[in-house]
Structures are given as structure tokens and as C-alpha cells.
Amino acid sequence: MKILVAIKQVAARDSQFKVDASGHWVEESDLSFEINEPDAYALEEALQLKERHGGEVVALCAGPARAVSGIREALAKGADRAIHIEVEDLTQFDALGVARLLAKAAETESADLLLTGLQSDDLGYGQTGVILAELLGVPHATIIMAVEKQDGSIRVKRELENGWFQNVTLPLPAVLAVQSGISKLRYATLMGIKKAKSKEIRRLTASDLGVPPSLNIVMERVYTPEKTKRTELLDGDPKQAAAALVEKLKFEARVL
């Protein structure tokens, strides 16, 4: 069973973010980077499927030269090899553009399964995996909480709202967008880190794949939300004021 896992390198969650001079993105010079958390769970699920059924796990990453550190981490955790689509400025590609890059690289692999994270921590579109499936012409499912391999197909458990779940059977090949928390993430072992140094990383460019920059979505402004305070007095007797307060907490503050 060959499994491709799309991973993205994003700024670490505990970073101190500052808007850059252009006002269109954050200043990246002082940031540390890590594998996008939902993608880390997709990688973990791929490794567990390999351990149960055998096969090969290939990490697929589009990003600048620094993304190789995330690729090495995926290899150290157990991925067999990797494909790095070198794009110095990934912001030149929207979700459709990134999906086109991944699809072109995936076409030659003939994988049985392609896993992505549900969404990225930086942009959060949640569309790349769905578009990727459409470009490859294969079935897909999102918000995956469990995967069970069957003969020529897979059975997946999808998380819905209000504690509901849906079980779906899909033919292979297929694309799955994995939900965070599907399982416990593993750490790279010292032996895994040593082995990662000798594992293959195939390098491609957008030009090699024939995919030009694509910006159907333009980032106009990135800014820190303004903090404001407001005092509002509720009229009426205590019962009426309490009812009005509950309404505001439900529909304005949305905390109930």
C-alpha cells in the first residue's frame, strides 16, 4: 500500500507574530517553523496504516528551502522518502495553485491513498485536500477520525456536528483530509533521525511541474484585532435584565 502524505511547514504556534512592512503577511525572519499540526496527524495515520498493512509512506511538501527541516522530521518519524516541491514564496499560490502542484507531483506516484491535514494553521482554507481529489479524479472524504483498510477499499469514520459521526466506504485510490486528534503523535527516535539523513528527497520546482503561480485570492491586509471595551446597562427589573443578558451572551458574545 503506497500512501502519500501532504505536509506543510508553518510558523510555530508559540511564536511572537508581527505584521511585516507590506502589511500583507507576518514577518518571518525571527520565526521558528514546524509541521502543520493537522498534517502531523495525517502523517501519523499513514505510518500506522503502513505498520498494519505494509507498504510505503511518501511525504509530499511544497515550500521554500527551509521546509526541508519539516521533511526531515517526517522521514525521521518513519516516512520512507519524500518529494519537495521547492517554492520560495508559497503565498504566490492559493489553495487551487498548491493543489495543482501537489497533484502534478502525485500523478507519477500512483498511490493508493493520499492524506492531508484538514486545514493549515496559517491560512486555514481547508480546501487543498478537496481540490486535490478533484484534480486527481478520485473520491475524497474530510474530517477523518479513523481509517480501516478493506479489500480494494477503505472504511472511514467522519466527525460531524453535535457528537455525531458518519461511516463511509470509499474505493481506492482516494484522498482523505484528516482531523487533528485522530491518534497520539509519535516522536522521532534517535535512530530515526540518523536514518532520515540517508533517505531520498526528490526535489522538483513549479516549472518542472508546469504549474505557474496562481492567485485567485489576494491578501489585502493582515492586522492585529483591535481590543475594545464597552459598558451597556440593561433596563428593567432583575428578571428582565437577566433574560436580556442571556440573549446577549448567546447571540452577541456567543459564549453560551
Domains of the chain and any CATH numbers = 2-209 (3.40.50.620), 227-256 (no CATH)
Cα end-to-end distance, the chain, whole Å: 46
Per residue in 113-134, pLDDT (tens digit) is: 999 999 998 888 899 999 999 9
CA 5 vs. chain centroid, Å, equals: 10
Is the confidence at residue 102, as pLDDT, over 90?
Answer: yes
In three-state secondary structure terms, 117 is strand
How sure is the predictor about 186, in pLDDT bands with cuts at 50, 70 and 90? very high
Which pLDDT does position 46 carry in this prediction? 96
The length of the chain in residues reads: 256
Comparing 37 with 250, the larger pLDDT belongs to: 37
How sure is the predictor about 209, in pLDDT bands with cuts at 50, 70 and 90? very high
Q: Which three three-digit cell numbers place residue 113? A: 491513498
Residue 137 burial class via C-beta count within 10 angstroms: exposed 0-12, middle 13-18, buried 19 and up = exposed
Pairing of strands 174-178, 153-159: unpaired
How sure is the predictor about 68, in pLDDT bands with cuts at 50, 70 and 90? very high
Comparing 221 with 113, the larger pLDDT belongs to: 113
Q: Which residue has cell 510558523? A: 11
- Across the range 193-216, mean pLDDT stands at 90
> In the chain, pLDDT over 90 holds for what percent of residues?
63
The CA distance from 212 to 166, in Å, is 38
The CA distance from 8 to 33, in Å, is 10
Is the confidence at residue 16, as pLDDT, over 90?
Answer: no
Q: To the nearest 10°, report the CA torsion of 86, 92, 94, 100.
A: -40
Which pLDDT does position 254 carry in this prediction? 76
Instruction: Report if pTM > 0.75.
Output: yes
In three-state secondary structure terms, 183 is coil
Question: What are residue 254's phi and psi, to 5 degrees?
Answer: 55, 50
Q: Write b or e for each residue in 45-54: b if 16 or more Cβ atoms lie within 10 A of its Cβ, otherwise e.
A: bbbbbbeeee
92-96, 197-201, 236-240, 252-256 — most confident range: 197-201
Which pLDDT does position 236 carry in this prediction? 86
How sure is the predictor about 83, in pLDDT bands with cuts at 50, 70 and 90? very high
Which pLDDT does position 55 carry in this prediction? 94
DSSP state of 131: H
Closest CA to 175 of 222, 231, 133, 121: 133
Which pLDDT does position 124 carry in this prediction? 86
Q: Average pLDDT of the chain? A: 91
In three-state secondary structure terms, 222 is coil
Rg (CA), the chain: 21
Which pLDDT does position 31 carry in this prediction? 85
Comparing 57 with 219, the larger pLDDT belongs to: 57
Is the confidence at residue 73, as pLDDT, over 80?
Answer: yes
